[in-house]
Amino acid sequence: MSTKPHPDFLLAGRIAARVMSDIVKDVRPGIKVLRVCMLAEKKILEYGASGIAFPCNVSINEEAAHYTSPPADKRVLPDKGLVKVDLGAHVNGYLSDTAVTVDLDGSYEKYVFAAKEALNAAIDTIRPGVRLGEVGAVIERTIKRSGLRPVHQLSGHQLKPWILHAGKSVPNISAAKSPEFLVGEMYAVEPFATNGNGTIRHSMVSYIYSNDLKNKKKLDRSAMQVRNIARQRFGTLPWASRWLHHLKGTADIDTAIKNLERVGAVRGYPVLIEGKNGLVSQFEHSIFVGHEGCIVSTRRNVE
Ligand code: MN
Ligand code: MN
């Protein structure tokens, strides 16, 4: 294992950090969610990424993750609440994955503080030989200190080239038996804090998908065409239904995607809602495990 982060990993992180710094200025009441998603995705490419690692997520209040705008989304940011912006770039397959929470009117500072502190504490703890569950315990303890609970049904994850959720998971609560962080590994660490019970339920809708590249099921021509284009453009990385809507009419694309999902050629990622509809905050950084500890690739200038 390399003991130094790959330059493309660092670049993917720097690009995501720069985009995030720009984007948070637009995250305010009355702004369209679609505008935030599109601006973020455009900037990722403008700033020199090979591609977008996954659709920009803009998840509000009890939505913990996985909301990205469907095509022609009219949704606007509310006057008050917690907005999680989660985005990432790739450079030759090396991934970044980073998230911040914006408190739209300053009512929920405690939530922002709790998740941010937990991420910082996790980063300070991670080094080779530390167990993933120990980091979960640090996250849990830090969030509880603010009188909130971690969303224990969500976790951080290892990053590998072209694979966003690879290998080991970084829990947001303590775990009895867990593997160790090893030199040379890349991870996305993402504590979530809530006033709910920390569980997650799936909403009825998905706007984010990924391909099962091995699936060989035959479908009608329209579905096969969408499958082939999605495989060719996105490979192993997640994509938004919105990204394919220029291909044909909205109804056709959605039908094709539904058919592909039914036979397992694509997997949908439903919007994830906190179990008790609690408010949710999240912060996330991508890190490399170096001999001396974490090297954070997605650190922003203001941090
Ligand atoms: Mn993320
Ligand atoms: Mn992540």
Bridge-based pairing state of the strands 186-189 and 266-274: unpaired
Spacing, Cα 133 to ligand 1 middle (Å): 20
Say whether 284 is catalytic. Answer: yes
Query: Do 157 and 194 have their domain in common?
Result: yes
Mean pLDDT of 106-124: 98
In a domain, 1, yes or no: no
Q: Which domain holds residue 104?
A: 7-199+276-296
Q: How many CB atoms lie within 10 A of CB 16?
A: 31
Query: Do 147 and 242 have their domain in common?
Result: no
In a domain, 240, yes or no: yes
In a domain, 249, yes or no: yes
**Which of 97, 103, 117, 185 is labelled catalytic?**
97
Spacing, Cα 74 to ligand 1 middle (Å): 23
- Spatial CB neighbours of 47, under 8 Å, sequence gap ≥ 6: 15, 18, 19, 89
Query: Do 248 and 150 have their domain in common?
Result: no
Summarised one tens digit per residue, pLDDT across range 206-249 is 999 999 999 999 999 889 999 999 999 999 999 999 999 887 66
In a domain, 216, yes or no: yes
Spacing, Cα 157 to ligand 1 middle (Å): 10
Query: Which three-class secondary structure state does DSSP give residue 63?
Result: strand
Query: Do 229 and 107 have their domain in common?
Result: no
Q: What is the mean pLDDT of the chain?
A: 96
Residue matched to tokens 């991420």: 119
Say whether 97 is catalytic. Answer: yes
Query: Which three-class secondary structure state does DSSP give residue 124?
Result: helix
**Which of 26, 165, 212, 245 is labelled catalytic?**
165
Spacing, Cα 217 to ligand 1 middle (Å): 31
Give the span between the Cα atoms of 257 and 239, in whole angstroms. 12
Spacing, Cα 218 to ligand 2 middle (Å): 32
Q: What is the total count of domains within the chain?
A: 2
Q: Give the DSSP per-residue string, 248-274.
A: S-HHHHHHHHHHHHHTTSEEEEEEEEE
> CATH number for the domain including 159?
3.90.230.10
Spacing, Cα 146 to ligand 2 middle (Å): 23
Ligand approaching nearest to the C-alpha of 164: 2
Query: Do 111 and 78 have their domain in common?
Result: yes
End-to-end CA distance of the chain: 29
- Of the chain, the percentage scoring pLDDT greater than 90 comes to 93
Mean pLDDT of 87-91: 98
Summarised one tens digit per residue, pLDDT across range 122-146 is 999 999 999 999 999 999 999 999 9
Query: Do 189 and 213 have their domain in common?
Result: no
Say whether 86 is catalytic. Answer: yes
Q: Rounded to two decimals, what is the model's pTM?
A: 0.96
Query: Do 92 and 143 have their domain in common?
Result: yes
Helix axes 250-262 and 221-234, enclosed angle (nearest 10): 80
Query: Do 27 and 150 have their domain in common?
Result: yes
- Amino acid 302: pLDDT: 77
In a domain, 99, yes or no: yes
In a domain, 122, yes or no: yes
In a domain, 302, yes or no: no
Query: Do 105 and 227 have their domain in common?
Result: no
- Amino acid 249: pLDDT: 63
Confidence of residue 250 (pLDDT cuts 50, 70, 90): low
Say whether 157 is catalytic. Answer: yes
Ligand approaching nearest to the C-alpha of 20: 1
**Which of 62, 86, 134, 274 is labelled catalytic?**
86
In a domain, 103, yes or no: yes
Query: Do 60 and 155 have their domain in common?
Result: yes
Q: How many CA atoms lie within 13 A of 264 on its CB side?
A: 4
> CATH number for the domain including 248?
1.10.10.10
Query: Do 292 and 148 have their domain in common?
Result: yes
Local structure of residue 131 (DSSP, 8 states) = B
Query: Do 88 and 195 have their domain in common?
Result: yes
**Which of 6, 90, 157, 285 is labelled catalytic?**
157
